[in-house]
């Protein structure tokens, strides 16, 4: 009755709307019944700088918990499985399913393949997505640097057995005459006048400490002949004066006796 009272054009429009709603509702219900991919870690087409330890995938509906109905597999660049085959639905969130991965995965593109069974109406679904591992390659170890070659050591010349070894320092010192040896050589020269016993013995002996003095300090041994000559001269002069005094005294005494 109500439809017949409306204008004919409006009645046609209302019939088209009802028909479209009747067709669209079953299709929408069928689409929403599938547990499809919602998000994941790693995300679809994501490039990660470090190999993940597991893959986590969230779906649009709760999953029906029964063995063999849901699966989550990961394949490497060579199409070999790299997961540990331990896919499981989370106890607190049945929209989440996880699977563990092998350690030390190489760089490359990895494919995640999933299959779900909806807990709402029992519809199943499947699909896949990819992510890429692009970790920094370890730097190549630096080549070991060549060790510096040691300078060739001089080979010692064979020395006959029993021969005394002379170091370069000793050889240089032996070539230069020492002041002590020169003084001793000069002290051995014969003198025309015999020296006094005490003075000659004191001048002839050179202290041991003076032999170690450097060439910059004058050595007493080199002036020994001059000292001997001076001592002899003074001693002779003193004896002469004593003799003159004695002769003068004797002459005075003779003169006194004669007078």
What does R_g of the chain's alpha carbons equal in angstroms? 63
Cα angle 143-146-148, degrees, rounded to a multiple of 5: 155
Residue 162, domain member (yes or no): no
Q: What is the DSSP letter of 163?
A: P
Residue 70, domain member (yes or no): yes
Q: What is the DSSP letter of 91?
A: S
How far apart are the C-alpha atoms of 133 and 228, rounded to whole Å?
A: 107
Residue 32 has pLDDT above 70, yes or no: no
Helix axes 224-258, 197-204, angle to 10 degrees: 170
Looking at residue 244, its pLDDT comes to 81
Are residues 73 and 11 part of one domain? no
Residue 88, domain member (yes or no): yes
**Per-residue pLDDT reduced to its tens digit, 129-147:** 999 999 987 665 545 555 5
Looking at residue 185, its pLDDT comes to 42
Domain stops at, among 72, 102, 133: 133
Residue 31 has pLDDT above 70, yes or no: no
Task: Look up the domain containing 188 and give its range.
Answer: 178-207+219-243
Looking at residue 186, its pLDDT comes to 46
What rounded mean pLDDT belongs to the chain? 73
Residue 125 tokens, joined: 């679904």
Which carries the bigger pLDDT value, residue 92 or residue 169? Answer: 92
**Per-residue pLDDT reduced to its tens digit, 49-83:** 999 999 999 999 999 999 999 999 999 999 999 99
Domain stops at, among 133, 166, 198: 133
């Amino acid at each position: 009755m109500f439809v017949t009272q409306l204008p004919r054009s409006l009645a046609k429009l209302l019939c088209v709307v009802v028909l479209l709603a009747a067709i669209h509702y079953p299709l929408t219900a069928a689409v929403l019944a599938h547990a499809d991919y919602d998000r994941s870690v790693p995300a679809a087409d994501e490039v990660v700088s470090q190999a993940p330890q597991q893959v986590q995938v969230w779906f649009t509906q709760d999953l029906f918990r029964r063995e063999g109905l849901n699966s989550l597999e990961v394949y490497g660049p060579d199409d070999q499985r790299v997961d540990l085959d331990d896919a499981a639905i989370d106890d607190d969130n049945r929209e989440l399913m996880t699977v563990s991965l092998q350690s030390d995965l190489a760089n490359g593109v990895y494919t995640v393949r999933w299959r779900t069974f909806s807990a709402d109406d029992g519809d199943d679904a499947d699909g896949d997505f990819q992510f890429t591992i692009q970790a920094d390659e370890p730097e190549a170890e630096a080549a070991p640097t060549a060790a510096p070659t040691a300078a060739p050591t001089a080979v010692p010349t064979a020395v006959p057995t029993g021969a005394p070894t002379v170091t370069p320092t000793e050889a240089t010192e032996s070539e230069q005459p020492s002041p002590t040896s020169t003084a001793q050589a000069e002290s051995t020269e014969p003198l025309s006048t015999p020296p006094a016993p005490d003075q000659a013995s004191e001048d002839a002996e050179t202290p041991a400490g003076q032999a170690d003095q450097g060439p910059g300090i004058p050595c007493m041994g080199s002036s020994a002949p001059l000292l001997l000559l001076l001592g002899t001269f003074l001693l002779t002069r003193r004896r002469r004066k004593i003799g003159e005094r004695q002769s003068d005294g004797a002459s005075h005494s003779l003169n006194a006796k004669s007078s």
